[in-house]
Amino acid sequence: MKTTPTPAFMLEPILDPNSDAGTSRDAIGLGQRAQEGLLNTRHGTILTLEDISVSFDGFKALNNLNLYISVGELRCIIGPNGAGKTTLMDVITGKTRPSHGKAWFGETLDLTQMSEVQIAQSGIGRKFQKPTVFEALSVFENLELAQKTDKSVWASLRARLTGEQRDRIHEVLETIRLTSSMHRPAGLLSHGQKQFLEIGMLLVQDPQLLLLDEPVAGMTDAETEFTAELFKSLAGKHSLMVVEHDMGFVGSIADHVTVLHQGSVLAEGSLDDVQANERVIEVYLGR
């Protein structure tokens, strides 16, 4: 079979490889690993949010919010319903534009100027509450498809998995404990397993920052425990921002907690510290 030559533009990195800006995930799928070295986190901070405000018809869902996440950190975000936790993730992923403020990924990537796709491709992965796996495809195929999202459709269709990509999928299958189910249709997995598969679909893309919104909602106790173990094992290799209402779970994973209230940071520190904070007690108990 005649192979189609790869057009030159697909072989060119989007950015100068010597530049330390990190949007360069190229079209032929050198992929996330290749751009890992490009995200500049020189000062140890992977995410910088300063004075972020989001208004919906005059209502401030986020109000001069400041938040800094370190490289490799596992940060939990807690706060009452409507505090702005999901909106915060929407801002980071480009789904919602702040009316005011700065949002930087590493030192050089201005998230307020990037599209949702560019942000995802630069290494920010997000998991929504409801699992969105392809039910008719096998677990392995779901991971394979997720891994290919960094390519153009054209490249994706003709691309075979490289040995390295295959190894990574197997590694992720082990991490999410689905190796023995890899050939099963994803639709047959339990709710918790689908959640793990979706986390796996993020992991095959090697994101540097993972955003997880209420990951243990609807999980059994055993699944919640495994999620805690999993997140602790991912921290260090990735930075994680976890929004969760389940305080038992938060206590089991977090060394650093941020409390959000009315769109601003109310308190920050260890879970014990913030739970002892008078203002936090007021907000949660409505005193």
Q: How far is the CB of 84 from ligand ATP (least distance, A)?
A: 4
Segment lying near Mg ion (by CB under 5 A), choices 86-94, 177-185, 188-196, 197-205:
86-94
Q: Which is nearer to ligand ATP, 100 or 166 (CB)?
A: 100
Does 86 contact Mg ion by CB under 5 A? yes
Partner that binds at residue 202, options Mg ion, ligand ATP, none, CB closer than 5 to 8 Å by kind: none
Q: How far is the CB of 223 from ligand ATP (least distance, A)?
A: 20
Q: Two tokens at 41?
A: 């986190």
Segment lying near Mg ion (by CB under 5 A), choices 12-20, 43-51, 77-85, 198-206:
77-85
Partner that binds at residue 56, options ligand ATP, Mg ion, none, CB closer than 5 to 8 Å by kind: ligand ATP
Segment lying near Mg ion (by CB under 5 A), choices 16-24, 83-91, 177-185, 278-286:
83-91
Partner that binds at residue 83, options ligand ATP, Mg ion, none, CB closer than 5 to 8 Å by kind: ligand ATP
Q: Two tokens at 245?
A: 């209402």
DSSP H or E segment with residue 66? strand 59-70
Q: How far is the CB of 62 from ligand ATP (least distance, A)?
A: 8
Cα distance between residue 272 and residue 204, in whole Å: 34
Q: How far is the CB of 139 from Mg ion (least distance, A)?
A: 28
Partner that binds at residue 44, options Mg ion, ligand ATP, none, CB closer than 5 to 8 Å by kind: none
Cα distance between residue 253 and residue 54, in whole Å: 29
Does 195 contact Mg ion by CB under 5 A? no
What secondary structure letter does DSSP report for 138?
B
Q: How far is the CB of 114 from ligand ATP (least distance, A)?
A: 20
Contacts of 281 (CB under 8 A, 6+ apart): 275, 287
In the complex, the residues that contact ligand ATP under the rule CB under 6 A are 56, 61, 79, 81-87
Contacts of 276 (CB under 8 A, 6+ apart): none
Residues 4-26: b if buried by 16+ CB within 10 A, e if exposed: eeeeeeeeebebeeeebbbbbbb
Of the candidates 38, 30, 32, which has an alpha carbon nearest to the alpha carbon of residue 207? Answer: 32
Q: Which is nearer to ligand ATP, 54 or 169 (CB)?
A: 54
Rg of the chain's alpha carbons, rounded to an integer? 20
Cα distance between residue 140 and residue 134, in whole Å: 11
